[in-house]
Amino acid sequence: MAVALILVLLVVASVLFHVLSPWWWTPIASNWTYIDSTLVITFWITGVVFVTVVCFMAYCVWRFRDRPGNRAAYEPENRRLEWLLASGTAVGVAAMLTPGLFVWNQFITVPDEATPVEVVSQQWLWSFRLPGADGKLGRAETRDVSPENPLGVNKNDAAGLDDIIIEGGELHLPVGKPVRMLLRSVDVLHDFYVPEFRAKMDMIPGMVTYFWFIPTRTGTFDILCAELCGVGHPQMRGTVVVEEAADYQAWLEQQQTFTQLLASGEPQPAN
């Protein structure tokens, strides 16, 4: 009796916790509301299954507890029931998977008009590179990294000379414009993670990884590292500011290009 009751109470407490707890995701600031919707669908389906299974179990524990004269039924199997349950589960799984795959397809298909923005990580600092007037990022290599050229931009690539370099500063993005984040690391794995954007991706030395999104509201957001990168992992922070196009342009003009950086001889913080 007590056991069944405790099981039911556990379910009730879990559901109440879910409904009443103040801890829920951060208000979204990107176009990835679909991710949130898929998550909500998953919560509903799994929640129903959890409540049903545990309550059914509690009922069995109460109803079929050992009493004098009681004897268990003999029922090796019931194929109809088993197939029914299996197909029901398959339907539930498909209901979660299908929207998930559609959204994933969007997630990995970058729109052509997206502006490239490069994020370069190192232990334990974020740097950024934006395309200059030509709208293109120049080539870059870890091998070319030096104190004068912290992001390893190729000096012989004309497309890179007007690139804007922001070392350890904050990143600004215009609201409502799709951006393609190109992620690069010069030492270990990192992960560019802004909770409000929902999207994230690991950064791997020797590779360029990517994701894309559209910032949908202005504000200042924390950048965290979400892949263990050594003892400084929790201190690896940055800031991204999403602002209106005019403010963004004003900010952009104050930034240093790669040519200016080389001319200044030594690296200086950008702002």
Q: Which of residues 158-187 bind other proteins (CB under 8 A)?
A: 183, 186-187
Total interface residues for other proteins by CB under 8 A: 99
CB of 157 to other proteins, least distance (A): 18
Among 5, 139, 220, 268, binds other proteins (CB under 8 A): 220
Site for other proteins in 1-30 (CB under 8 A): 3, 6-7, 10, 14, 17, 21-26
Under 8 Å CB-to-CB from 260, ≥6 apart: which residues? none
The smaller minimum CB distance to other proteins, of residues 27 and 133, is found at 27
Amino acid code (one letter) for 100: G
Which residues of 76-231 form beta strands (DSSP E)? 115-122, 125-130, 164-167, 171-174, 179-185, 190-193, 200-203, 209-213, 219-225
The smaller minimum CB distance to other proteins, of residues 51 and 270, is found at 51
DSSP class per residue in 101-114: HHHHHHHH---TTP
Q: Are strands 171-174 and 238-243 parallel, antiparallel or unpaired?
A: parallel
Cα end-to-end span (Å), the chain: 68
Element containing residue 238 per DSSP (H, E)? strand 238-243
Round to whole Å and give the CA distance between 197 and 242. Answer: 11
The smaller minimum CB distance to other proteins, of residues 90 and 158, is found at 90
CB of 41 to other proteins, least distance (A): 9
Among 119, 198, 212, 238, binds other proteins (CB under 8 A): 198
CB of 154 to other proteins, least distance (A): 14
**Burial of 117 (C-beta count, 10 Å sphere; 0-12/13-18/19+):** buried
Contact 36, 198 (CB under 8 A): yes
202 touches other proteins by CB under 8 A: yes
Q: What is the DSSP letter of 231?
A: T
Round to whole Å and give the CA distance between 98 and 51. Answer: 23
Site for other proteins in 98-137 (CB under 8 A): 100-101, 103-105, 107-108, 122-123
CB of 193 to other proteins, least distance (A): 7
188 touches other proteins by CB under 8 A: yes
CB of 249 to other proteins, least distance (A): 25
CB of 240 to other proteins, least distance (A): 11
Span from 96-104, 154-162, 168-176, 240-248 in contact with other proteins (CB under 8 A):
96-104
Site for other proteins in 233-252 (CB under 8 A): 233-235, 237
The smaller minimum CB distance to other proteins, of residues 74 and 253, is found at 74
Site for other proteins in 49-78 (CB under 8 A): 49-50, 53-54, 56-57, 60-61, 64-66, 70-78
Round to whole Å and give the CA distance between 53 and 21. Answer: 23
